[in-house]
Structure 1
Amino acid sequence: MVNFGRIVEIQSGSKSLSNKDFTIEFTVPFDNDLLPNESEIKIYNLTDDTIKAFDVGNKLVINAGYTDNVGMILQGIISNKVTQYSGVDKTTTIHVLDAENRDKSEVKDIAFAKGTPASKILDQMTSELGIQVAQFFLNEDFVYEEGYTATGKITDIIKKIAADCGTSAYVNKGQMYIRNLRIGNDAAIALSAETGLIGQPESFDEGEYGFTGLRLKSQLQHRITTATVIKLNSKRHQDATLHIRKGVHRCTGSDFVTEMEGIYP
C-alpha cells in the first residue's frame, strides 16, 4: 500500500478539529440523484463549548485522506446533532445534508413555447431552485416541439427533462451536476493493489435494461465521487474503465475506505 498517515479534518464556523486530537468516525455517501445525501459523523469527548459550534444549520466541511493526499469529501449543512454518554465517554453524533433539501420547492404552470430546447427549461428550473450548477452538459438538447408546461416539484421536473436528454442530474457537495456519467473531461484515477485497491472487485448485472459494472473497495480516496473515471487493474480486470455512480467514504476504528459502484462505458 502506498498511503500512510490517516488525516481527518472537520471545519464548522470558527472550529477546526483533527483526528490528531479527537477520535472521529464518519460515513459519507454519494450518488447520482437529486435527493440530498445525509452523512453521519461521530466525534468523541468534545467539550460542551466545542459541541455548541456544531449547531443545526451551520456549514460543515470534512477533508480526509493520507499525508500529502488530502481533499474535501463533504461540504454540507448540519441537519441534526445529538450527544450521548456511555460511562466516562461522550459521543456527539452529527448529521449533515450535502445540499439544502429543496425537494418541496414547486412551480405552477410555467409555460414554454413550441420548439423550446431542454437547456432553456433546465436553466430556468435550476434558477428557480436556487442552487449552483457546477457542470451542465446534455447528451442531447431535446426540443419540445409542442412546448412544455412546468408544474410540480422542481426536482422532479429537472429529473424528467434531463432524462429526456439522456442525461443524469444529481447533487454533490452542495452543487448540482447535469451531465452524462459516462461523458466529461474527468481525469482518470488509476486503481490497483499498488494504489489502494482492497480485495477483488465484484461484478453486477442489472439485466437487459440496466447497467453492468463492478463493486469496488479502496483505501480512502477523496477524489473518488459521482462520475469519477476509474482505470482498474486487478487479477481479473486489466485496464478496465469504470464510471462511478455511487459509493461511500467510511472511517471507523478499523476502516478508512472508499466503497463504490462503477458502470462500464
Structure 2
Amino acid sequence: MIQVNNFGRVIEVIVDDMLFSSVDYAVEGTVPFDNDPLPNESEIKLWNLSPETISLLTRNSIVGINAGYKGDIGLILHGRLSKAVTKPQGVDLITTIYVMDSEDLSKRKVTDVAYAEGTLASYILKDMAAQLGLPIAQFDLNRDYRYEEGYTASGKVTDIITKIAKDCGTSAYVNKGKLYIRNLRRGADDVFALSPQTGLIGSPEPFEDEHFKGYSIKSQLQYRITTASVIDLSSKQFSGRVHVRRGSHHFSRTGNFTTEVEAILP
C-alpha cells in the first residue's frame, strides 16, 4: 500500500527546456482526465513572465507538469502547448497556456475500411490505434468480440475505437499522451489508500447513473490518482475499493491543491 507525505507543496511546469517552479513563480492550473479517447485540454496560469520568455511559449512545445509534496512529486500532465495568451490584470501580467494531452485526434478519419467476416475486435482496434499514431500503454479486453459478418470502419477513428471497445466491454482513453484500451476495474494498477489521514477532504458523495454506482471524492492533490487508479477508500460514509473513472487535479502555490474524482464500485 502506498504511503504519502502531504507537506510542502511543489509544482513544476516544464515547457521544452524551460522550468517554471512554484518556488520562483506564482502558478495555478487544472488538469482533467477521463475515460474516453478524445484529448483533454489543461489550463495553466503563470504570473509575470518576461517578454523574452513569453515569446518562447510556442504552439506544439512539449509541456510536462510535476506536482506533489517535498520529496514526493510525480507527473500529472504530458502534452503539447496549443496556445498561450498573455493579459494584464492590475499590476500583474498573467500568461495562460493551454495544453492538449495529445494531438487533435478528432481530425483522424478513415473511409470505408473493410474487414473480413470473422475478424476479431482486437485486430481492428490495433489497426485503428495505428491510425491515431499514439503509443499503446495497455491493451486488455474483457472479451475479444468476433464480427462474424465482417466490419466496415468509417468516420472519426476515436469514435470507431470507442464503439469497438464498448462491444468488448472495455474502455478506451488517452492519458499523458498514451492510448489505453482496458477495463477500468482490472489491471496492474497500484492501490492507493485514501482516508482523512492520507488526504481525504470532506465526505464522499454517492452517485448512480445508467451503468455504474460510485462516489465523488475530493482529496489533497495526489499525482498517483488518474483514470483507472485503484483507491481503497476509508470514510464514515463508505469503506471499500473503488476505481477512478474521471477527475481533475487543481493546483496553485497558495490556493487549491486538490484532486477530485468520480470513482466506480467493483
Instruction: Give the TM-score normalised by the residue count of structure 1.
Output: 0.96
- Asked if 1:87 is matched to 2:90, the reply is yes
SS at match of 1:255: coil
Identity %, equivalent residues: 54
Unaligned stretches of 5+ residues in structure 1: none
Do the aligned residues in 2 keep the contact of 1:13 with 1:53 (CA within 8 Å)?
Answer: no
- What is the distance in 1 between the residues matched to 2:213 and 2:23? 41
Residue pairs, 1:1-265, within 5 angstroms: 2-206=5-209, 209-238=210-239, 240-252=240-252, 253-265=254-266
Equivalent AA in structure 1 for residue 243 of structure 2: H
Where do 4+ consecutive residues of structure 1 move more than 6 Å? none
Structure 1 position 51, deviation (Å):
1.4
- What is the distance in 1 between the residues matched to 2:118 and 2:5? 55
Do the aligned residues in 2 keep the contact of 1:169 with 1:176 (CA within 8 Å)?
Answer: yes
Do the aligned residues in 2 keep the contact of 1:2 with 1:194 (CA within 8 Å)?
Answer: no
- What is the distance in 2 between the residues matched to 1:196 and 1:188? 15
- What is the distance in 2 between the residues matched to 1:193 and 1:133? 35
**Which digits, 9 at most, give the CA deviation of each residue in 1:44-85, with x for residues without a partner?**
011111112221111100000001110000001111111111
Moved more, 53-62 or 137-146: 53-62
- What is the distance in 2 between the residues matched to 1:48 and 1:56? 16
Moved more, 225-234 or 97-106: 97-106
**Which digits, 9 at most, give the CA deviation of each residue in 1:128-182, with x for residues without a partner?**
1211111100000000111111111111111111010000001111111000111
Do the aligned residues in 2 keep the contact of 1:2 with 1:196 (CA within 8 Å)?
Answer: no
Equivalent AA in structure 2 for residue 235 of structure 1: K
- What is the distance in 1 between the residues matched to 2:68 and 2:235? 23
- What is the distance in 2 between the residues matched to 1:45 and 1:172? 30
- What is the distance in 1 between the residues matched to 2:142 and 2:201? 34
**Which digits, 9 at most, give the CA deviation of each residue in 1:25-52, with x for residues without a partner?**
0100000011111100000011111112
Structure 1 position 104, deviation (Å):
1.7
SS at match of 1:139: coil
Equivalent AA in structure 1 for residue 175 of structure 2: N
Unaligned stretches of 5+ residues in structure 2: none
SS at match of 1:198: strand
SS at match of 1:246: strand
SS at match of 1:124: helix
Instruction: Give the TM-score normalised by the residue count of structure 2.
Output: 0.96
Do the aligned residues in 1 keep the contact of 2:5 with 2:69 (CA within 8 Å)?
Answer: no
Equivalent AA in structure 2 for residue 96 of structure 1: V
Equivalent AA in structure 2 for residue 120 of structure 1: Y
Report the aligned-residue RMSD.
Answer: 1.1
**Which digits, 9 at most, give the CA deviation of each residue in 1:215-252, with x for residues without a partner?**
111110001000000000111212x1110000110014
Structure 1 position 112, deviation (Å):
1.0
Structure 1 position 94, deviation (Å):
0.6
Do the aligned residues in 2 keep the contact of 1:15 with 1:53 (CA within 8 Å)?
Answer: no
Equivalent AA in structure 1 for residue 245 of structure 2: R
Equivalent AA in structure 2 for residue 261 of structure 1: E
